[in-house]
Structure 1
């Protein structure tokens, strides 16, 4: 089975049918207002830099907190520097062709690529906070090594692998190119790598795959587009994202069933239930992969929030538009991750938990900035600080986004 293809699609010929019913929301609170449908995507007239996941104001806030020794930022920073990703002795391991099969098997350069990208981002953050040029030079070394060598991604997981690494590289590059005063001679070659190797793999999405694929791929496409000042690619990626979000996270205001995934071949109720991994009862906050496992759902949540964060930096704040969809999705999964009893109507009464460090960015946006009470999400987020790097493309989000008002 491919990493993101629903296991049950083969069963469609059997004509799986299920009644699509609504039950009261599983998290207390007022019913959500209908989500506004976004108009066509539009890139800003001029991109803000650094502007992929982190703005300059956000980074300055973090730097001030770490230098003052305040928590949780100081502890998160110390954990980051103590990790292998923060090592100044790290040696990059680039490949010309990265081959990644289902679940990264085979793993021919897949882990190396993802980890070197996270390390480059780690070093960029470390430089911004400490102003120790050794970290900037190490970040540049890692980015230059890969841009000098990689030519392609192959095998079934190539688009997803490109999404994981392609969402992380621009975060590092934005900080180094637009904030580091020491110069970066290889920035042009690195931009060419993003444009020619990564962007073609992610820009068209994967309509029929599990939704985490397309959301992660759009995280990469949006970040790459910002770094390249590519308005056309940004518009295309944002349009795909705006269609996928309401097809991935359900609200009662959507009607008796979730939206069909745009541009896909899924267009009947039985196909939709199969696509939602057999779930036929829909409540506020349920996600398309909830009944698959929380690991993939967490990656989708993280990617969704990353794009919303970048969009806000670039001048279009999506959080007011999606606030109900986001808060219910976070709260719904947080309650079960915290140990709430699983009802029999949900995934047959059994959940595969393990959401990963996926909640920090969304919690900050909704709670810190918009003032929305999110008790389950708060308990989960604060109880797991500092967030680390468990899910391939999520890194140090307690450091960068905890209680960050900017």
Structure 2
């Protein structure tokens, strides 16, 4: 057997990839394997280079890697909890991806035909993914299906344009709707599974807005699965470290797959937050190799999961997830990954990622590479920057984006609206961040960024729009000054509110309140955009005497009723009023149980509307699932002194805040 040697990058192939990405916005193939990766793997097998060749034997001998594999499906509907065809779909997804890899290694058309047969059959047949765990179902097996499709599409497999379009339609219309709002109600491995599959669909379908949504969520998402919410501190502790070690390894593996896709698109997600992903892998590997690690009990973002000590369940049972991260940080980035390396060596050669289609596996074959000293992306024009976010902060706008591989500096541009002309406001920014101090309060701005190196300048990043602070007339107040301070950010037509407090009970008001002056006969209507984070969240709208606690007012609120069923609360909408300052709140009208399509498996997964209307002698409170059919919840005599209209948000817990988004706010 031969030892690992330095691989040569085919410069013309790399240049072709970049030229293609300029026209199509993405590098193809560009999910877990690039064109260069596939060539490296093929060469390693042909030359029997270790450990690639041993990894290849692991793949080749797997029963789902055979071109005579008997397809288990397809089915029109699959589901998880209750289970409907989950094992059938996952087995076929494994076979599709593994046959696609075998095709690129062997050039045996029979493998390509098997992979195409599976993808085509499911794309033409599957109509729905169901069950309480549908998001997880759609985030696991379909990831392998999309990866198989990406490889087939860009490796001359004779896959017809009609079938490719069919696959695109299937991924966007059947898979994507299930994962489009992620899974902020669950443990983080759900969120990160949805994330990586969304990124994969976006690349395959050349959908830049979808890709940007996933990239931004990876960094700043409200749920447990975003990078900072899953790997919760610098030590590398994970949100599920206190649950069990199997799910913890799964969660970080999903995040690693996201980072690998981004890397193929010329973006360095691996490096953000001071290599936070590596810290999570090092912490988890160290503990599962039998060593002690620090542990800090921490409530998760849902408010449901608090583990007082690190879990011993599954300890020492290393999953096939370490080669990808070891090879990136040690061989690509020239960094130390002591425990990740030990874990990779202990598992090597990595087998299939089981159970089902939980993760890819086969990392010894797929990711083994020799050390690199120069990023090959420095030899070509930079890829398009991604993940641009603009956040108002202390009278300025703070911009951040994902670092672009091979970039020397960035140019930052600004316009006054999406159709306006962009002007350069900083011509040479060396880090992937910029603070724009030249902004006017309440004014909207749109930003973009381009990357520059010695080979040229990239196309502009997907624009980010922001308002410098809140729109004129709007303010944020915490109704209980003792509560943790909340905040609000302006969207183009609404707000994102980070709220705190236990809510409205009897004589108490603990909530974040974003408010505006109210004049007679005005109406306030809001649309809730799913999903929220704390599963104890309450939100709604209010007409009040003032922002002071316990003033007169009318409130229309949605919240989960107290229940012994932590995972299955009943969500209701109710109207309350305080008729005299200092009085207890009084319910007005009946409590309405919220039903489908707003509620799915006891979760607020659908959007809905709330509206308060001032009429001549009364205030009417309405609820609507669609903004068309309105249901009267309560009526209050209009003899109160009401001078403010606003939005109420509370987390329902002391330990955590909640994030709620309202994409439509109408005060008119």
Q: Which band: TM-score by shorter chain?
A: 0.7 to 0.9
What is the SS of the residue equivalent to 2:79? strand
- Once the two structures are superposed, residues 270-316 of structure 1 have per-residue CA deviations (whole angstroms, 9 ceiling, x without a partner) of xxxxxxxxxxxxxx100000010111111111111111111111122
Please tell me whether the aligned partners of residues 117 and 168 of structure 1 are also in contact (alpha carbons under 8 angstroms): yes
- Aligned-residue RMSD, C-alpha: 2.0
User: Does 2:281 align with 1:295?
Assistant: no
User: Does 2:348 align with 1:385?
Assistant: yes
User: Does 2:218 align with 1:241?
Assistant: yes
Residue of 282, 285, 297 corresponding to 1:334: 285
> Unaligned stretches of 5+ in structure 1?
1-42, 253-283
User: Does 2:294 align with 1:318?
Assistant: no
Residue of 160, 164, 176 corresponding to 1:199: 176
User: Does 2:327 align with 1:364?
Assistant: yes
Residues 6-405 of structure 1 aligned to structure 2 (within 5 Å): 46-92=25-71, 93-101=73-81, 106-184=82-160, 185-243=162-220, 244-252=226-234, 284-341=235-292, 348=309, 350-352=311-313, 353=315, 354-388=317-351, 389-391=353-355, 392-403=358-369
| Dislocated runs of 4+, deviation >4 Å | 341-347
**Counterpart-to-counterpart distance in 1, 2:366 and 2:310:** 36
More moved, 373-382 vs 119-128: 373-382
Higher relative contact order (CA 8 A, sep 6+): 1
What's the offset of the Cα at 1:323?
4.8
What is the SS of the residue equivalent to 1:153? strand
Please tell me whether the aligned partners of residues 123 and 138 of structure 1 are also in contact (alpha carbons under 8 angstroms): yes
**Counterpart-to-counterpart distance in 1, 2:127 and 2:34:** 30
State the TM-score, normalizing by the size of structure 2. Answer: 0.47
**Counterpart-to-counterpart distance in 2, 1:91 and 1:342:** 46
What's the offset of the Cα at 1:345?
6.9
What's the offset of the Cα at 1:170?
1.4
What is the SS of the residue equivalent to 2:25? coil
What's the offset of the Cα at 1:219?
0.3
Please tell me whether the aligned partners of residues 118 and 395 of structure 1 are also in contact (alpha carbons under 8 angstroms): no
What's the offset of the Cα at 1:365?
1.2
Please tell me whether the aligned partners of residues 167 and 223 of structure 1 are also in contact (alpha carbons under 8 angstroms): yes
**Counterpart-to-counterpart distance in 1, 2:342 and 2:318:** 14
**Counterpart-to-counterpart distance in 2, 1:223 and 1:364:** 21
- The residue aligned with 1:270 is none
- Once the two structures are superposed, residues 235-255 of structure 1 have per-residue CA deviations (whole angstroms, 9 ceiling, x without a partner) of 111111112111111234xxx
State the TM-score, normalizing by the size of structure 1. Answer: 0.77
**Counterpart-to-counterpart distance in 2, 1:200 and 1:146:** 17
> Unaligned stretches of 5+ in structure 2?
1-20, 221-225, 298-307, 377-668
Distance 1:192 1:377, change over 3 A: same
Distance 1:286 1:62, change over 3 A: same
- Once the two structures are superposed, residues 205-237 of structure 1 have per-residue CA deviations (whole angstroms, 9 ceiling, x without a partner) of 111211111111010000000000011111111
What is the SS of the residue equivalent to 2:309? helix
Decide which structure has the larger Cα Rg and report it. 2
**Counterpart-to-counterpart distance in 1, 2:246 and 2:310:** 18
**Counterpart-to-counterpart distance in 2, 1:356 and 1:363:** 14
What is the SS of the residue equivalent to 1:179? coil
